[in-house]
A and B are shown apart, each in its own frame.
Chain A
Amino acid sequence: MSPRARIPLFLVSLAGLAALLGFGVAGLPAFGDYHGPYGLVLNQVVLGERHTTNVVAAVVFDYRGFDTLGEELMLFAAVAATALILREAREEEARQVLDAVRSEPVRLAGLSAVPVVVLLGLFVVAFGYLTPGGGFQGGTVVALGLLLVYLAAEHRAYRRLTPTAVVDVFEGGGAAAFVGLALGALAGGLAFQENFLPLGKIGALTSGGSIPLLNWATAIEVTAAFLLLFGEFLEEVMVERGR
């Protein structure tokens, strides 16, 4: 079918889809008219059952931990596939390219922001189950802080800071730690991924049972996955630059 004839046919079917979706969505309760019941139950119960003040983190790592396991393995698979595709077809390694940022104020401001951003990311991870945050958010921030080294200085500095062998080990280790903690509960006679550590005082860093451990395993895996992703894409750009 020619492209010219495809567009009107597509617009007609798009109108049909929009009408069907509109009909479906009109059956939902009005915005703000929340009936529950799971949200209402969880908001009442989590503080007493898990001693964490961030109910969303408790849901991510404990009540719906199986979904998070699936999401983490999805992240792992996507990054592994990207690395496979890009490394397979790369014809040569990136040669030494002089792409250093030459403006001194930019280097100074950028490089002095790197430890601040990394510390902020670690803070978001560490207190993720007490205040808004968590392994996913904080892991991305730490990876972006290390990417700032490339943006403020040069690619060679980023490469030296994140060698592929080390980053690969951390990524696999993070995913394995998550699965290991989930299976460890099984080995101890509990249900798969059940919370097996003692719950602490509400509001302290040692509360939540095994939630902090899963939190850190996720943060390590997400950081390493993003560092790997950025490294592969930057390597592609540098290979072109060197030609």
Chain B
Amino acid sequence: MSYLPYALAVWLLVVGLYGVVTSRHLVHLVVSLTVAQSSTYVLLLAVGYRKHATAPIFKGIPLGTKATDPVVQALTLTDVVVSVAVLALLLAVAVQVHVREGTLDPDEIPAVRG
């Protein structure tokens, strides 16, 4: 039971990769990639958790209270915001593929020319 969060991270990555490989529509592929990305957030936060600890904010809380790790939270929070910009970029590329090739099926899109 104490390894459940790590197992969840592996599960989310596996499920996301399955969605990416067996996808038949580029937008479905990109959203499955989002699921695979969220596995890293879960893993990072699970590594930084301390039993019976509170959040690392010390306003009104005396110094020395048990708190979770702030470094992994800092890494994860910037990651979450930037991932949406990358999602938008991937979707813009998907729209361009539809304009050029007329289809969004990964199996039918011909290889890159030139």
Contact = CB atoms under 8 A, between A and B. Distances in A.
Contact of A31 (B46, B78, B96): B46
Q: Which secondary structure characterizes the binding site on chain A?
A: helix
Contact of B70 (A26, A39, A137): A39
B37 interface: no
Interface residues of B, number: 54
A53 B58 contact: yes
Interface in B1-32: 2-7, 9-10, 13-14, 17-18, 21-22
Nearest to B18: A14
B74 A71 contact: no
B95 interface: yes
Interface string B85-101: 11011011101100100
Nearest to B13: A21
Contacts of B74: 56, 59-60, 64, 67
B112 interface: no
A68 B75 CA distance: 8
Given A25-B10, A39-B68, A203-B59, A74 B4 contact: no
B33 interface: no
Interface in A134-157: 134, 136-137, 140
A85 B49 contact: no
B111 interface: no
Interface in A1-56: 3, 6-7, 10, 14, 17-18, 21-22, 25-26, 28, 30-34, 36, 38-39, 42-44, 46-47, 53-56
A36 B13 CA distance: 26
B85 A75 contact: yes
Given A21-B13, A34-B47, A38-B71, 11 more contacts: A6-B21, A26-B3, A32-B50, A39-B68, A47-B63, A55-B70, A60-B78, A78-B86, A131-B59, A132-B57, A203-B59
